[in-house]
């Protein structure tokens, strides 16, 4: 396989995937309206991928990101996008103000399908961190409030983030799997 069709409308995610995988495989992009279902991270990732494969009529790669607060037993998890839209960075912080732990885990799940009817294969990466008051540029989701190694994702250069992020870790697993598929 020399090309992957990454289904996303998020230009930042597309740029990160291309930066991490670009030297190995050609990452194409298509936008497909995928329904947001409720479930576990894995259930959501598989449903999104299956829907995209059916819509495209061929192989696809999809991605779903979650942010799990340890004090809230995993919430907001895969619903972080809705929580962020409703509460903003400060509101997400306020959710943790009455807890001792501000620990969090960033989770990225890529799902690959060979096409309609093919069971999606999951590649998941996790990065532990802490929820902090916003620092850095607010141009990519919850990056300003997720701290790892003393910096928020928003304070890191793209190169720094792409070496340690949950997305990077998931893509390394995908890359290894793709290499194993080569004859």
Domain count, the chain: 1
CATH at residue 81:
3.90.950.10
12 is in an annotated binding site: yes
pLDDT-derived band at 178, boundaries 50, 70, 90: confident
Band of the pLDDT at 145, cuts 50, 70, 90? very high
- Residue 167 labeled ligand binder: yes
Residue 161 assigned to a binding site: yes
Tokens at residue 27, please? 């990452």
- In this predicted structure, the answer to whether residue 183 has a pLDDT above a threshold of 70 is no
User: Is 158 flagged in the annotation as binding?
Assistant: no
Question: Which own/partner contact pairs does 151-159 have at CB distance under 8 Å and 24+ positions apart?
Answer: 153/106, 158/15, 158/16, 158/19
**Bond into 76 cis (ω within 30):** yes
d(CA 146, CA 93): 10
HSE-CB of 127 using CA atoms within 13 angstroms:
23
Question: How far apart are alpha carbons 78 and 97 in whole angstroms?
Answer: 21
> Is 65 annotated to bind ligand?
yes
Rounded Cα gap, residues 108 and 125, in angstroms: 5
Cα of first residue to Cα of last residue in the chain, in angstroms, is 10
Cα dist from 103 to 44, 83, 93, 94, 164, whole Å: 23, 17, 11, 14, 17
Q: Which residue has the higher pLDDT, 10 or 130?
A: 130
- The residue segments making up the domain with residue 147 are 3-181
8 labelled ligand-binding: yes
Is 50 annotated as belonging to a binding site? no
pLDDT band at 80 (very low <50, low <70, confident <90, very high): very high
Q: Residue 13, annotated ligand binder?
A: yes
pLDDT of residue 2: 75
Mean pLDDT of the chain: 92
DSSP 79-133: THHHHHHHHHHHHHHHHHTTSS--EEEEEEEEEEESSTTPPPEEEEEEEEEEE-S
């Amino acid at each position: 396989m020399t090309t992957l069709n990454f289904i996303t409308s998020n230009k930042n995610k597309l740029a990160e995937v291309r930066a991490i995988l670009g030297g190995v495989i050609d990452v194409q992009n298509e936008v497909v309206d995928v329904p947001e279902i409720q479930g576990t991270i894995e259930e959501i990732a598989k449903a999104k991928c299956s829907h995209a494969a059916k819509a495209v009529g061929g192989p696809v790669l999809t991605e779903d990101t979650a942010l799990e607060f340890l004090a809230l037993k995993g919430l907001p998890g895969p619903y972080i996008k809705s929580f962020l839209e409703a509460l903003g960075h400060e509101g997400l912080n306020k959710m943790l103000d009455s807890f001792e732990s501000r620990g969090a885990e960033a989770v990225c799940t890529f799902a690959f399908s060979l096409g309609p009817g093919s069971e999606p294969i999951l590649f998941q990466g996790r990065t532990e961190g802490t929820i902090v008051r916003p620092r850095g540029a607010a141009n990519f989701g919850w990056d300003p409030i997720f701290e790892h190694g003393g910096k928020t994702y928003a304070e890191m250069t793209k190169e720094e983030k792409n070496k340690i992020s949950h997305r990077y870790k998931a893509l390394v697993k995908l890359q290894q799997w793709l290499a194993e598929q080569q004859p």
